[in-house]
Amino acid sequence: MNARQRLLWVGAALMVGGAVAGVAHACPGCKEALFDPQQLPQRLRAAQGYAWSIAALLLVPAAMIGGLVGWIVFSQRRLARKAANADSVDRDTLSG
């Protein structure tokens, strides 16, 4: 499978995943419900949900950039290794 086919498969998988994913219903005014003193357990769960959403918003872009940089480094090292192997094969052929 070449790189173009792989890219097409990844794109198709992302489009299918996006179409199948459920819709999350929320409103920005939900934080106003946190001020009701009678609902402590609900407030704690909502606060924990906010914390997880903030963590996801911070970590996902960092993971994506890190993955992209890792892929580029890996590709360049593999390319350099192939070039070094081809160069050594050429030297062996010329000296033999």
DSSP letter for each residue of 37-88: TT-HHHHHHHHHHHHHHHHHHHHHHHHHHHHHHHHHHHHHHHHHHHHHHHHH
6-33 pLDDT, tens per residue? 888 888 887 877 776 665 555 555 656 5
What would the pLDDT profile of 60-96 be if each residue is shown by its tens digit? 999 999 999 999 999 999 999 998 887 776 665 666 5
CA distances from 19 to 7, 13, 14, 23, 46 (A): 18, 10, 9, 10, 27
Terminal Cα-to-Cα distance of the chain (whole angstroms): 36
Q: Do the beta carbons of residue 15 and residue 7 sit within 8 Å?
A: no
pTM value is 0.46
Q: CA-CA distance, 18 to 16, in Å (whole number)?
A: 5
